[in-house]
């Protein structure tokens, strides 16, 4: 059976500043685009039969730059809906809610019908994605999921049979590849936060700028 290939999109201005970003469709920074391109050699030797992508532009662009094709937009792969905390950092939230923790408290409703989500809400979405992805693995090929940090962390927890809040244990950097597989029929993490070295990324950006 194949593996689940988790791809977090490249850097955006808000991922750099630590602002919560779900429904705000920001483009990637120059560095983020370089991160996305650098994923191609990490994916090139994988036999990927199905690629599911968050509908947000930063995820789709990452998939394209990483050389993935046959993309299927999947609304359930959207980032945790931050509701009233969209665009706000954790430090700012804790000025009025000192004990706030996304992983246990979830978010509050925001404007324009943005309800926010609880950990359980995100866990339900992750379970639906896993049902489709695990079915895709029956072909023997890998399944790629291109999405966002907090969502993929919840999905990893659910894959391992843990509660959504256990996603707090799995830090996930921008522009990285991770893999979920099995060992003796037990769900395991087989690779995490794979990326090319910073020196390689820097050289690639300098080459692009000089062209």
Longest dimension (CA), the chain: 50
Q: Say whether 79 is catalytic.
A: yes
Q: Which of 9, 20, 148, 150 is catalytic?
A: 9
The tokens for 82 are: 């931050």
Q: Say whether 148 is catalytic.
A: no
Q: Which of 3, 11, 35, 79 is catalytic?
A: 79
The tokens for 184 are: 């003796």
Residues in CB range of 72: below 8 A, 6 or more apart: 50, 51, 52, 53
Do the Cβ atoms of 20 and 76 come closer than 8 Å? no
Do the Cβ atoms of 175 and 62 come closer than 8 Å? yes
SS3 42: helix
Specify the pairing of strand 176-183 against strand 4-8: antiparallel
Catalytic residue list: 9, 79
């Amino acid at each position: 059976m194949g593996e689940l290939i988790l791809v977090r999109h490249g850097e955006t201005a808000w991922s750099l500043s630590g602002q919560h970003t779900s429904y705000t469709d920001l483009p990637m920074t120059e560095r983020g685009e370089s991160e996305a391109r650098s994923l191609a050699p990490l994916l090139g030797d994988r036999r990927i039969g199905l690629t599911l992508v968050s509908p947000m532009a930063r995820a789709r662009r990452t998939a394209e730059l990483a050389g993935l094709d046959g993309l299927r937009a999947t609304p359930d792969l959207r980032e945790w809906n931050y509701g009233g905390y969209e665009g706000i950092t954790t430090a700012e939230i804790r000025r009025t809610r000192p004990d706030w923790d996304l992983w246990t408290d979830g978010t509050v409703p925001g404007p324009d019908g943005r309800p926010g989500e609880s950990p359980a809400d995100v866990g339900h979405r992750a379970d639906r994605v896993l049902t489709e992805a695990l079915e895709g693995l029956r072909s023997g090929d890998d399944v790629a999921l291109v999405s966002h940090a907090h969502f993929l962390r919840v999905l990893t927890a659910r894959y391992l049979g843990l509660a959504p809040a256990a996603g707090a244990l799995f830090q996930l950097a921008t522009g990285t590849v991770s893999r979920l597989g099995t060992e003796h029929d037990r769900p395991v993490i087989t690779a995490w936060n794979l990326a090319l070295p910073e020196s390689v990324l820097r050289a690639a950006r300098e080459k692009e700028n000089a062209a």
